[in-house]
Structure 1
Amino acid sequence: MGGKRYDRLKEIQRLDPERDFLAIYRLIAAYEFPWDHTRALELALYRTYAVPSIGRLLAGTAEMTDRSQKRYDDTSLLLDAVVEHGFDSEEGRTAVRRINRMHRGYDISDDDMRYVLCTFVVTPARWLDSFGWRPLTEHERRATANYYRTLGKHMGIKEIPRTYEEFEDLLDSYEAAHFAWDERSRQVSDATLALMASWYPRPLAPLLRAATVSLLDEPLRRAFRYPRPHPAVGALVHGLLRLRARAVRLLPPRRRPHHARQNPEIRSYPGYPSGYRLEDLGTFPTPGLRGCPVPRHGRPAPDGIAADPVD
């Protein structure tokens, strides 16, 4: 495993995954695998729609069906602000506070919140096992688990798994118990597939939809009742992704970080830093509307830096 391509991995291995988890995760996301990291987090959020309680909530807000591009952009920018700037920075605190204020307006169970956190830990690791130019090491998996455990604490999530293996076990058991057909979840899924296709020339949309569906594992595909893709489509898509991985492995290590705000898929804002403010991202109560479009049952406000001081 010699050569400059692996120099940053050597840097990562010198860091402590219990103490330096933010630094390690930032190197993973912004230097080692920025493209894969984006695709994997897209898939992580997407698979949560197959849990009907989550899919129905998202359909009820209309954020993912009527304003899917803005919802995608805001979610990406808020989550990545913490990665880029850290939990103790003004930007990180603002992003987490904004996320918490949005979540507190809805009836989201602790179980669902914990599951969504698991997808952020496990789905990228599994994506890189299949399509990355190298898989994550055990060292990196420990750091990733610690990063999201810390994020979960700032979000007020209870009983968070402690290790990568615990995150993985919880994800698998939760999906086995809760993945199911729901018409409104399917609406959110269809809107997301349409959004992803919209990033490319329109004639390619049917091909891109088929390619994306071919990346879904069987339980996820069944939950949305998508027809089984032709085996040739799956073989082609998987083959191209693995070919890309081999090509990336030959490249020199990235010298500059690549963050979500630099992704071409972010289209709601003209530029950074003038294009948006973190405190303005996400959803806000509709003027003149009492309450929220999806009822909540008194989810407690999280403690610590995430708590909104004006609430």
Structure 2
Amino acid sequence: MSSNHGWSPLTSGGLFWLIIPLLLSILCYIVAWRTQRKRGPEEASDHINNLGSMTLEEAYLIKARIAELEFPLIFSAATNAVFFKAEAIPSIAKLVSRAAQRSTPRNGPGATPLDLLGRPGAPATKAAIDRVNYIHGFYRPSSKMSDDDLLYVLSLFALEPIRCIDRFEWRRLTALERRALATLWKALGEALRIPFDRLPSDEEGFDDDALKWLSELEVWGREYEERHREKTPESVFLGEKQLDAWVRGVPRFLRRWARGCVAVLIEPGLRQAMGIETPSTLAIVLVQTVVSVRKFIRRRLYTL
């Protein structure tokens, strides 16, 4: 008499039929989730176009999706690197260098870009703006911090995340997404009392056209860089200090190689102004390969 233990989910066949439906369910969930995320911007675009103008709250929600869900790594890195790029301007480098050499801050805590880009009208966002205006009040009356320098830094905050996402991510930002970021930074510039009189359309007004404001700001910022960016002892000091901070977690015997890889990510003109060595061909090939592979993988996953 043969013994028949019957079907068990722990047998190889039973385990197979348990795993396959589970994997298919996960796959369907991923596809549905990504489809919903891709529909989100389109639905938001239709809604905003119907309204005719974008509110700060709508711009904030689009920014939050970009910065927190879709491109958190690149958005954060680009925003945090703004001051590094600004330090290639001698007047900014001199001011930051003095602050960096002090052992303790003089004016208390400041505010991060993340604080400033909080939900519009929220108490925390208002408090962050007030703190920055308070700190600026120590430097602007004495011309240690010029309106042009502030406008240039604002241009970097508004444009660097867009540039870096376009350069390092699997897709470029849409006009709607650019408009949202421009809307937020334009409003923030006004709250920080940064004049836009250097922009051609300032006198006649931008008529709620944030993209026009962003375009003119980009042209002005590029010209400002060309006129003022140069290598100074302060910029070299700050460049070395920042590079050391970026590679601090790397084992000591790999730090020189890591510095070369970081240098690949820095545009040539900025490298020269900050006194950073030109990276080796091997480092360039390695970093470009990693960036390309990352783009490919993210594109495949997103379009799954």
Query: Kindly tell me: are residues 187 and 140 of structure 1, through their superposed partners in 2, closer, same or farther at Cα, counting changes over 3 Å?
Result: same
Q: Equivalent of 1:87, from 72, 96, 120?
A: 120
Matched, 1:119 2:156: yes
Number of the residue aligned with 1:163: 213
Number of the residue aligned with 1:136: 173
Q: Distance in 2 between matches of 1:213 and 1:188?
A: 14
The structure with the largest helix share of the pair is 2
Matched, 1:13 2:45: yes
Q: Distance in 2 between matches of 1:104 and 1:238?
A: 43
Equivalent position SS for 2:145: coil
Matched, 1:23 2:61: yes
Q: Equivalent of 1:212, from 258, 262, 272?
A: 262
Alignment of 1:24-63 (within 5 A): 24-62=62-100
Normalization by structure 2: what TM-score?
A: 0.73
Number of the residue aligned with 2:133: 100
Q: Pick 1 or 2: higher relative contact order, CA cutoff 8 A, min separation 6.
A: 1
For structure 1, list consecutive stretches of 5 or more residues without a partner in the other structure: 254-311
- Are the equivalent residues in 1 in contact too, given 2:235–2:275 (CA < 8 A)? no
Q: Distance in 1 between matches of 2:179 and 2:159?
A: 11
RMSD: 2.5
Number of the residue aligned with 1:258: none
- Are the equivalent residues in 1 in contact too, given 2:239–2:276 (CA < 8 A)? no
- Are the equivalent residues in 2 in contact too, given 1:5–1:249 (CA < 8 A)? no
Q: Distance in 2 between matches of 1:21 and 1:8?
A: 13
Query: Kindly tell me: are residues 7 and 201 of structure 1, through their superposed partners in 2, closer, same or farther at Cα, counting changes over 3 Å?
Result: farther
The structure whose Rg is larger is 2
Query: Kindly tell me: are residues 43 and 82 of structure 1, through their superposed partners in 2, closer, same or farther at Cα, counting changes over 3 Å?
Result: closer
- Are the equivalent residues in 2 in contact too, given 1:121–1:145 (CA < 8 A)? yes
Number of the residue aligned with 2:295: 245
Give 1:187 deviation, angstroms. Answer: 0.7
Query: Kindly tell me: are residues 206 and 8 of structure 1, through their superposed partners in 2, closer, same or farther at Cα, counting changes over 3 Å?
Result: farther
Aligned length: 244
Cα displacement string for residues 178-207 of structure 1 (whole angstroms, at most 9, x for unaligned residues): 110110111111111111112444443222
- Aligned residues with identical type, % of pairs: 27
Give 1:94 deviation, angstroms. Answer: 1.1
Paired amino acid for 2:238: V
- Are the equivalent residues in 1 in contact too, given 2:165–2:171 (CA < 8 A)? yes
Give 1:133 deviation, angstroms. Answer: 2.2
Paired amino acid for 1:47: K
Normalization by structure 1: what TM-score?
A: 0.71
Number of the residue aligned with 1:263: none
Cα displacement string for residues 26-61 of structure 1 (whole angstroms, at most 9, x for unaligned residues): 221112211010111133221101001001100011
